[in-house]
């Protein structure tokens, strides 16, 4: 009897998970749409949907268009059922954002980071202050927050608590989850920023519909998330995707990681600005920070041969790096994201051309290369999906 009850409970949770996931990602949908997309029977869909409506998880969203007969009612996840916080811990700032259950942005705050001051305690303090700030701005009680997702530069070692290895920040085995959990009772979910960007683009952006894709994050540094058969590839210790530290030029430019010739040493924003400075014979690049300096380089390319050459070289280097991704992983899509990639968006045709010269013909012809669709907020948005992904997998049951 106990076994039968346990089995029934497991089946019901699995059905709830399937229906909630479809409504969250593809809603609004009718009950008949859910029958077709999940393979569940009409009675099963009706019973589970009734429970989800009673619990406030699902709401009606008006009548669907009808060709005759009684119109079907559209269903969607209820936007105010719960809230999630997404955090982007980058190398130049900490961005904290609050979303409702429909992933509508409700509040946002940023804390600039001095590259010389990236101490873990300081970063954890910014995250905690940001959580308080965005929930306060939106008038959301802590008990209504489903969880906090955090995307961070570096390798995130998953375990009983997440530990971060981020050489660019000067971090070695930093117990970031422990530091943040000391100041909040909210559930924490921590992952690499390129991976959270990839999840956001898979769910809502340029990756939708793809089973095999690579999402490249180009900011101060460079990383990637590899998605195969719809799941992120992590490797033995979750460090898969450190594309920026693959070798582009043997014995080439010094990289921040301590090696030489890494891709990041040529196409990361810090490296691009450094190459521009060298091309200007040491003269400082205009601008107060990396973003304004990169913008100055892009603007100067219309009139400066030096700036144009630096950007052309950058497109070539980036195209060669993309070709390596295509040759290694045979993706349907390569999506370039991150603030630096967005700033360099006009280089996309040149990047495609360079990738075509370097990649094997057959896999290159099968792959599209495009910019991300979610802009500079993609890392924080993707981080906010981490607690939601757990919630959907568990059938909409809060632990």
Confidence of residue 69 (pLDDT cuts 50, 70, 90): low
- Provide the CA 292 distance to its chain's centre, in angstroms: 23
- How does the average pLDDT of the chain come out, rounded? 92
Please state the rounded mean pLDDT for residues 211-216: 96
pLDDT at residue 1 above 60?
A: no
Q: Quote the Cα angle for 25-31-35, to 5°.
A: 80
pTM: 0.90
CA-derived radius of gyration, the chain: 23
| Structure-model confidence comparison of residues 72 and 22, the more confident one | 22
pLDDT at residue 12 above 60?
A: yes
> So what's the pLDDT on residue 68?
58
What SS3 state is found at 334? strand
* pLDDT tens-digit map of 345-363: 999 999 999 999 999 999 9
pLDDT at residue 65 above 80?
A: no
* pLDDT tens-digit map of 230-258: 899 888 777 788 999 999 999 999 998 88
* pLDDT tens-digit map of 329-348: 999 999 999 999 999 999 99
Please state the rounded mean pLDDT for residues 9-22: 91
Confidence of residue 6 (pLDDT cuts 50, 70, 90): low
> So what's the pLDDT on residue 66?
64
Q: How does 81-110 read in b/e, with b if 16+ C-beta sit within 10 Å?
A: bbbbbbbbbbbbebbbbbbbbebebbbbbb
Tokens of 78: 């209820």
Please state the rounded mean pLDDT for residues 123-130: 97
pLDDT at residue 295 above 80?
A: yes
């Amino acid at each position: 009897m106990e076994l039968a009850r346990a089995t029934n409970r497991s089946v019901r949770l699995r059905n709830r998970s399937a229906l909630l996931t479809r409504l969250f990602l593809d809603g609004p949908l009718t009950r008949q749409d859910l029958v077709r997309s999940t393979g569940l029977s009409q009675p099963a869909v009706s019973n589970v949907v009734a429970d989800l409506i009673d619990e406030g998880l699902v709401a009606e969203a008006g009548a669907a268009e009808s060709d005759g007969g009684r119109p079907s009612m559209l269903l969607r996840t209820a936007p105010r059922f719960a809230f999630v916080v997404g955090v982007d811990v980058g190398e130049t700032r900490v961005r904290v954002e609050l979303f409702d259950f429909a992933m509508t942005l409700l509040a946002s705050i940023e804390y600039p980071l001095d590259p010389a001051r990236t101490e873990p305690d300081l970063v954890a303090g910014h995250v905690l202050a940001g959580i308080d700030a965005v929930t306060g701005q939106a008038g959301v009680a802590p008990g209504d927050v489903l969880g906090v997702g955090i995307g961070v530069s570096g390798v995130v070692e998953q375990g009983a608590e997440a530990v971060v290895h981020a050489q660019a920040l000067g971090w070695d085995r930093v117990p970031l989850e422990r530091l943040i959990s000391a100041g909040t009772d909210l559930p924490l979910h921590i992952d690499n920023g390129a991976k959270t960007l990839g999840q956001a683009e898979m769910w809502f952006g340029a990756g939708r519909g793809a089973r095999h894709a690579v999402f490249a994050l180009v900011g101060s540094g460079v990383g990637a998330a590899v998605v195969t058969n719809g799941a992120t590839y992590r490797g033995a210790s979750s460090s898969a995707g450190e594309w920026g530290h693959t070798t582009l030029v043997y014995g080439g430019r010094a990289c921040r990681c301590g090696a030489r010739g890494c891709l990041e040493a040529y196409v990361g924003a810090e490296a691009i600005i450094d190459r521009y400075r060298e091309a200007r014979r040491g003269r400082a690049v205009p601008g107060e920070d990396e973003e304004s300096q990169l913008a100055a380089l892009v603007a100067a390319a219309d009139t400066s041969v030096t700036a144009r050459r630096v950007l052309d070289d950058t497109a070539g280097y980036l195209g060669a790096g993309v070709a390596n991704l295509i040759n290694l992983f045979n993706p349907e899509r390569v999506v370039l994201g991150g603030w630096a990639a967005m700033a360099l968006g006009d280089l996309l045709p040149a990047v495609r051309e360079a990738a075509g010269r370097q990649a094997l013909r057959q896999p290159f012809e099968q792959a599209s290369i495009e910019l991300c669709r979610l802009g500079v907020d993609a890392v924080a948005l993707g981080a906010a999906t981490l607690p939601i992904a757990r919630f959907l997998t568990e059938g909409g049951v809060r632990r």
